[in-house]
Structure 1
Amino acid sequence: MKTYSALGLIETFGIVYILEAADAMCKAADVELAGFENVASGYISVLVRGDVGACKAAVEAGVRAVENMGSEVYSSVVIPSPHQDIEKIIARYSLENLDI
């Protein structure tokens, strides 16, 4: 059975806050920025991948960064061993699907 990286996710309101979170997450631990989702109402989520410890450290750093800016994190989670079918969802939000 294939081993999948852990996932770390943060959701907040506004692009400035999620960029700060993503920056802090990538600087705090050995994680890869996997993707993001911008919902029309302004809620934005960011996904990182790595080992469990790195994702936990990254999410903690991202949450702190948003809170230090005076905003609120609406949700955060680390999924240590996501089921292989989760890849179908992640693919939709992948940075590889962007035209940049």
Structure 2
Amino acid sequence: MEAIGMVETRSLVAALEALDSMTKAANVQLVDLKKVGSGIVTVIVTGDVAAVSAAVETGKTAHTRTGGELISSNIIPRPHSGLSMIL
């Protein structure tokens, strides 16, 4: 795993819109889509650092097409191997 990218929204539809845009914008793979609760959904992708950065930037704006709310986003370049057990 070279990088992990996350986009968290309030709305499943917004998260799916973000995920669709992220995978079309860059060569990233879906790791997981976590439903946290209270309508909060986190999309987690992986790929090389540049691709994940581009995908997260695209996902941060894509959710607005559905009226969803961006809660948070983050990119972890070269994550520790222990993180893969959590994801």
Alignment TM-score, normalising by the size of structure 2: 0.93
List alignment gaps of at least 5 residues for structure 1: 91-100
Q: Which deviates more from structure 2 when the two are superposed, residues 76-85 or residues 61-70? A: 61-70
Q: CA deviation at 1:42?
A: 1.1
2:73 paired residue among 62, 76, 86: 76
User: What is the root-mean-square deviation of aligned Cα atoms in Å?
Assistant: 1.1
Counterpart amino acid of residue 71 in structure 1: G
Q: CA deviation at 1:15?
A: 0.8
Alignment TM-score, normalising by the size of structure 1: 0.82
Aligned pairs, number: 87
Q: Quick one: distance in 2 between partners of 1:40 and 1:80?
A: 27
Q: CA deviation at 1:40?
A: 2.4
Q: Quick one: distance in 2 between partners of 1:58 and 1:84?
A: 22
Considering Cα pairs closer than 8 Å and 6+ residues apart, tell me whether 1 or 2 has the greater RCO: 2
Answering whether residue 30 of structure 2 is matched by residue 43 of structure 1, we say no
Higher strand share: 2
Moved >6 Å (runs of 4+): none
Identity %: 45
Counterpart amino acid of residue 25 in structure 2: A
Q: What SS does the corresponding residue of 1:39 show, helix, strand or coil?
A: strand
Q: Quick one: distance in 2 between partners of 1:74 and 1:8?
A: 14
Larger Rg: 1
Q: CA deviation at 1:70?
A: 3.3
Answering whether residue 34 of structure 2 is matched by residue 18 of structure 1, we say no
